[in-house]
Copies of this chain bind each other. A is one copy, B any other.
């Protein structure tokens, strides 16, 4: 039997060795998810960066606003697909399946949002997000106008763009340290509740 592959190129701290606030945050997510997503323990190698990373994440992903939680995860998955980031596609794909209560949408959005089972409004949202991810220099007034036609306000546009920008960072960190997705994420949310 082969040993479990490493989850990071860098040392992964033990829970006991971490500052209290970081350990508390990790225990909280473990309580909620049933396991500790590797992004938490691998980034904890650098406590200050860990704190800033998750503060930024929470400011964008947990805030009130015009985007649903599923839509925010769609942005993560579509832009992580454009950046070829395995960790984010697999982990946030799982979260998207759960929020959207849709076992198919994550794989669709990761490969080609144009043909995913989502609304035209959501396709416009993802077109903008992917442009921020791969060609932000070319963003102009026409891009904002296209989103307004779908009913997005300026603060929604900030949300869309900022999530794409934050995961531009996240994707690069995951690729840099070869962050490995937990096995659990691959199957989470693949069978809709209908079953239960």
A75 → chain B, closest Cβ, in Å? 12
| Assembly CA distance A81 to B112 (angstroms) | 11
What are the 3 tightest A-B residue pairs by CB atom distance, in nearest-first order? A52-B56, A165-B172, A136-B175
Chain A: interface size category: 35 or more
Please tell me if A176 contacts chain B, counting CB pairs below 8 Å: yes
Residues of B within 8 A of A20 (CB): none
Would B186 and A161 count as touching, CB distance under 8 A? no
Q: Would B136 and A10 count as touching, CB distance under 8 A?
A: no
Complex interface bits, A1-38 against B, C-beta within 8 A gives 1, otherwise 0: 00001000110000000000000000000000000000
**Nearest chain B CB to A171 CB, angstrom units:** 7
The answer to whether A165 touches B169, judged by C-beta atoms less than 8 angstroms apart, is yes
A132 at the interface (CB under 8 A from B): yes
Known: A55-B48, A165-B172, A166-B169. A137 touches B107 (CB 8 A): no
Taking CB atoms, residues of chain B closer than 8 Å to A175 are: 112, 132, 136-137, 139
List 17 A–B pairs whose Cβ atoms lie within 8 Å, in order of A's numbering.
A10-B158, A48-B55, A52-B53, A53-B56, A56-B56, A84-B111, A84-B112, A86-B108, A89-B107, A132-B175, A132-B176, A133-B172, A136-B171, A139-B175, A165-B173, A168-B168, A187-B191
A145 proximal to B (CB < 8 A): no
Question: Across the interface, which residues of B come within 8 angstroms of A154, CB to CB?
Answer: 9-10
In the complex, the chain B residue whose C-beta lies closest to that of A82 is B84
Q: Tell me which of B52, B112, B139 contacts A55 (CB under 8 A).
A: B52
Min CB–CB distance A23 → chain B (angstroms): 19
A125 at the interface (CB under 8 A from B): no
Cβ-neighbour of A168 out of B60, B158, B169, B190 (below 8 A): B169
- Which listed residue, B85, B104, B140, B173, touches A114 by the CB 8 Å rule? B140
Contacts of A51 in B (CB 8 A): 55, 59
| 1/0 contact string of A35-67 vs chain B (CB within 8 Å) | 000000000011011011101101110010000
